[in-house]
Amino acid sequence: MSTALLLLAAWVALPLAAQQAPATGAPRTVLVMGDSLSAAYGLSAAQGWVALTAEQVKRTRPGWRVVNASISGETSAGGASRIAAELQRHRPGIVVIELGANDGLRGLSLAQTRTNLDRMIQAARKSGAQVMLIGMRIPPNYGPDYTRGFEANFKVLADQYKLPLLPFLLEPVARDRTNFQADNLHPVAAAQPKIRDHVWQVLGPMLK
């Protein structure tokens, strides 16, 4: 084949190659590491605030997707033991950490909870991900010192690492008993959109 014909063939092939190439890169990932509050306990997965957030992300932030790696009953120790594998699997751009509630309900060491969350934060940041921290509050069953210390853990870590912090996941629904299932711990389906909107106030601006 002559040089002219080779050049013509290459020129004709260029538009086809351009059409076959993906128009955009793969979506970046928001990885949610949480417990039953994020795993839609007692509901279908699609009813939970994480799934509702994923729908909102799909509509309004097309360059992103949401992966829910939450497990009912998870403690901060469980999250710390799992995060390396989840980071490797999903390579997220943002990690949302919603853990610690089960530590508090079991009266576990506040220092150990903080250490576990610290490990998760460091692992996520080392991978190149941003971190959003979601805090919780617990009933005063273990006394005021434990209750205050539990809540303070999240602020201490957020201040230390300068993280976006949502101080209390259940803030918009906590005061109304009808927002909760029979166990008085897990929100009903009707309350999940309020939680989604509450989380979005912090998460939305991170999705640039």
Question: Which residues belong to the active site?
Answer: 36, 183, 186
Name the strands in the sheet holding 165-166, side by side, starting at the edge strand that comes first in the sequence: 64-68, 28-34, 94-98, 130-134, 165-166
Q: What are the structure tokens assigned to 70, written together?
A: 């939450």
